[in-house]
Amino acid sequence: MTIDQEIARRRTFGIISHPDAGKTTLTEKLLLFGGAIQKAGAVKSSKIKDHARSDWMEIEKQRGISVATSVMGFTYRDTKINLLDTPGHQDFAEDTYRTLTAVDSVIMVIDCVKGVETQTEKLMDVCRMRSTPVICFINKLDREGRDPFDLLDEIEEKLDIKVRPLSWPISMGKTFKGVYSLYEKSLHLFTASKTVVEEGIEISDIQSQELDQLVGEKNAEQLRADVELIEGVYPEFSVADYAAGEVAPVFFGSAVNNFGVKELLDTFIRIAPTPRSRETTVREVAPHEPKFTGFVFKIHANMDPKHRNRIAFVRVCSGAFHRGDTYFHVRHNKGYRFSNATAFLAQDRETIDEAWPGDIVGIYDTGNLKIGDTLTEGEKLQYTGIPSFSPEIFKEVVNKDAMKSKQLEKGLLQLMEEGVAQLFTFDVGKRKVIGTVGALQFEVIQFRLLHEYSATVEFHNQQIYKACWISSSDERKLQEFIQSKMRYIARDKDGKLVFMAESKAWLQMVQDNFPEIRFHFTSEFKD
């Protein structure tokens, strides 16, 4: 195939939602349709041994939540789908935000009982920043939920995006009959716990008596009235408006019952955008350009607990990636040969020889790559828009087993490289403090240090308001500041100087007293 043909058959998207809306369950069913798995798992069921495929970390199985982005690739109807299942919990938002830089579109899962929730609004803000196309899947129709029209109004109001339903539910809860596809003009009847989905029944005219026989006279009349209202209130669906991030098509279903998912997937591969052009510090890069470019959006250590490996997730943006070739590392200003490259199905991997725009490649790495790095065939450009975060919660790491100090050092270094937390080592006393955006991160770090590195730690709360990276054009003034504030000076994992401010008021006073010192709230800054 030519590069244009490879691009045309690829769709790279993320699944996002508030916790417990059914995101991971929907992911499972999409994998089921793609033939990537033979049996769907259950994230929270202790009775089922086969846990959800996308939640592969041990702590995810125990807690029943996603704490890291999973990357899964599969083929459906000759379309190569790259699916990124993201954490829903707000304490892991950094991973989700970064992942959204690597996708071309998004499926947002909404609980029909709870409607639009806080985390959903935050995720939508990130999508809006990049005009990312969004499809809404309103889930759990097998439960007694809210009126579908009320849900559509809430999506428009809270998420600030126009909607256009492309499927419509026939009742819900105990009397749920199925969905009518407004896009395909076909009826899909609901059967609880269905594992094999049959083709929909084509209804060329919903005024026909056949509809009454299939769903009952009362439901048929309600569906006709609803469809008439939808066609009268909502403009005709425009693929161009969806691709521009201006309109969100809406589907209804029950992911746990495998229902409504096929209609979503069939429509998705028809309307979702192929890999798009992306901005760099120099110019916009188009996917069909012949030379390879890509960027690292995620690092993960110990995907295989038996082998202490470190994998960088690279989004291919242009050209073709060939295993074994040497590529230019822009930050290091030198070339590296990547002989080990893999494609993903959660923690399962297979070696690949080439990858095309839209694909996610896993590169085995010994520490040369970090989040935000750009790889090219020689051109000095840097992909932009990968966010970094200033920590909000700080805790000191206390080693409970002095015999495992080396394991702890290695574990902290590798876990911090994943970008989910930041490590600060104080110059005085060499105390190690971890900063995160969410409290649950500490539980994950503690769990992984124990189970992946055999290091036992406790975390002690610290009275720290903000970590501020410091710099100055006057080296003498910088040294004077360090000497006067020695107790509050630390270094991040890259050795950069950081001032650990105890309160907002004190930070302001210090800034006023030392005008020659520049205070930065992210480690990425230019003097």
Shared-domain flag, residues 316 and 367: yes
Residues of the chain with pLDDT under 70: 36-69, 87-94, 192-200, 204, 302-308, 344-349, 387-390, 524-527
Give me 398's structure tokens.
Answer: 């206390």
Q: Dihedral of the CA atoms 333, 339, 344, 346 (nearest 10)? A: -80
Shared-domain flag, residues 323 and 450: no
Give me 417's structure tokens.
Answer: 């490289």
Cα gap 193→190, rounded to integer Å: 9
Query: Quick check: is 333 in a domain?
Result: yes
**259: domain CATH number?**
3.40.50.300
Query: Quick check: is 387 in a domain?
Result: no
Shared-domain flag, residues 236 and 323: no
**405: domain CATH number?**
3.30.70.3280
Query: Quick check: is 526 in a domain?
Result: no
Shared-domain flag, residues 99 and 133: yes
Domain's final residue, options 246, 271, 296:
271
Shared-domain flag, residues 29 and 104: yes
Domain's final residue, options 216, 239, 271:
271
Cα gap 352→469, rounded to integer Å: 40
Shared-domain flag, residues 322 and 353: yes
From the number of C-beta atoms within 10 Å of its C-beta (0-12, 13-18, 19+), residue 362 rates as buried
Query: Quick check: is 515 in a domain?
Result: yes
Domain's final residue, options 344, 376, 408:
376
Residue-range definition of the domain harbouring residue 321: 278-376
DSSP-derived letter for residue 430 is T
Q: pTM of this prediction? A: 0.77
Shared-domain flag, residues 399 and 368: no
Query: Quick check: is 299 in a domain?
Result: yes
Cα gap 154→480, rounded to integer Å: 56
| Contacting residues for 101 by C-beta, under 8 A, at least 6 apart | 130, 297, 315, 385, 386, 387
Shared-domain flag, residues 283 and 267: no
Shared-domain flag, residues 370 and 414: no
Cα gap 278→328, rounded to integer Å: 18
Collapsing DSSP to helix, strand or coil, 457 comes out as strand
Cα gap 144→126, rounded to integer Å: 31
Query: Quick check: is 388 in a domain?
Result: no
Q: What is the pLDDT of residues 481-510, one digit of tens each?
A: 999 999 999 999 889 999 999 999 999 999
Query: Quick check: is 525 in a domain?
Result: no
Q: How many domains does the chain have?
A: 3
pLDDT at 120: 87
C-alpha angle 119/142/23, rounded to 5°?
A: 30
pLDDT at 345: 60
Shared-domain flag, residues 309 and 415: no
Tokens 């419509």, located at residue: 168
Query: Quick check: is 11 in a domain?
Result: yes
Please answer whether residues 211 and 168 qualify as being in contact, where contact means their C-beta atoms are separated by less than 8 angstroms: no
| Contacting residues for 179 by C-beta, under 8 A, at least 6 apart | 141, 167, 168, 169, 170, 187, 188, 190, 251, 252, 253, 259, 260, 263
Shared-domain flag, residues 101 and 145: yes
**Beta bridge partners of residue 14, listed in sequence order:** 84, 106
| Contacting residues for 113 by C-beta, under 8 A, at least 6 apart | 140, 143, 144, 145, 146
pLDDT at 54: 47
